[in-house]
Amino acid sequence: MQNALIIGILVGLLCPVIGCLLIVQRMALLGDVIAHSVLPGLSISFFLGIDFLIGAFISGILGAGLIAWIRSQSKIKADAAMALTFSSFFALGVLLITVLKNKIDLDSFLFGDILAATELDILKTLVVTILIFLLIKIFYKELLFYTFDKTGAQAMGLPVDTMHIVFMIAVTLTIIVSMQAVGVILVIALMIGPALSAYLLVKQLHHMLLLSSALGALSSITGVYLSYFYNLPSGPAIVLVSSTVFLLVFLSRLNR
């Protein structure tokens, strides 16, 4: 339970921050695509006996890169490219699990198993959380410019392409370290739920980042305790708490 609470808090702090950046850039579905794109790399990592973080990271980046390549080389819109990549990578992952005869617990992969979190899982999540928070703190002004006006940022000489790559890496790492807690399917809900709640309550990005992290951590703690006392699956419990908070915020902001 101690490990579950610690990793739940870390994931609750980290996921909504990335979710805020995805929302304001109108790229929320990209997180979902990357989340499902990690499955082939995960399967190959298990087969080769290496750390799943390596394979999942490479696979997730390839998924994001494929979307960018399809968009740049054709008139296909982003949503269509995302839908194709999402389904193709997920199907490839399931196929590889069967062909390579990997003993991957798909239920844990899809829906999480936060009670199985180890000290190593916590360390990985902590390192990624600190790294991403430091990058946002140091380059906040550039990130703010890039987020709301990519054309203007490029005209001012900012390395827009590099910033995009770094952002994709941050999204991928966030999804990978969060899979243990809530699973690959529900991680997107934890990213977007607290971020949307904060989006409805505040107007400035830095306020949105702070508030969404607080809501995410609160959702994680509440979800873990609910799963413990009422024998509920932890990942869905965390996400449903987050969704309930959003619903309450949404109803409170109607007609305002």
To the question of pTM greater than 0.75 for the whole model, the response is yes
Report if residue 255 sits inside a domain.
no
Number of domains in the chain: 1
Residue 182 lies inside a defined structural domain of this protein: yes
**Residue 195 confidence (pLDDT):** 94
Confidence of residue 256 (pLDDT cuts 50, 70, 90): low
As given in the structure block, the two tokens for residue 69 are 């390549």
Residue 253 belongs to a domain: no
Here the CATH number for the domain that contains residue 129 is 1.10.3470.10
Structure tokens that stand for 117 in this block: 């979190």
Check residue 45 and give its pLDDT: 87
Q: How far apart are CA 81 and CA 68, in angstroms?
A: 8
pLDDT at 30 exceeding the cut of 90: no
| 84 domain-assigned | yes
Domain hosting 97: range is: 2-248
Q: Model confidence at 250, in pLDDT bands (50, 70, 90)?
A: very high
Q: Is 256 inside any structural domain?
A: no
Residue 8 maps to a domain: yes
Quick check: is 254 in a domain?
no
Query: Which is it for the CA torsion 134, 138, 141, 142, positive or negative?
Result: negative
Residue 105, in any domain of the structure: yes
Taking only the tens place, the pLDDT of each residue in 99-118 is 888 777 667 777 777 878 88
Q: What angle do CA 201, 11, 3 make, to 5 degrees?
A: 135
**CA-to-CA separations, 123 to 18, 120, 137, 191, 234, in angstroms, rounded:** 19, 5, 21, 20, 20
Q: For residues 1 and 109, give the distance between their C-alpha atoms in angstroms, rounded to a whole number.
A: 19
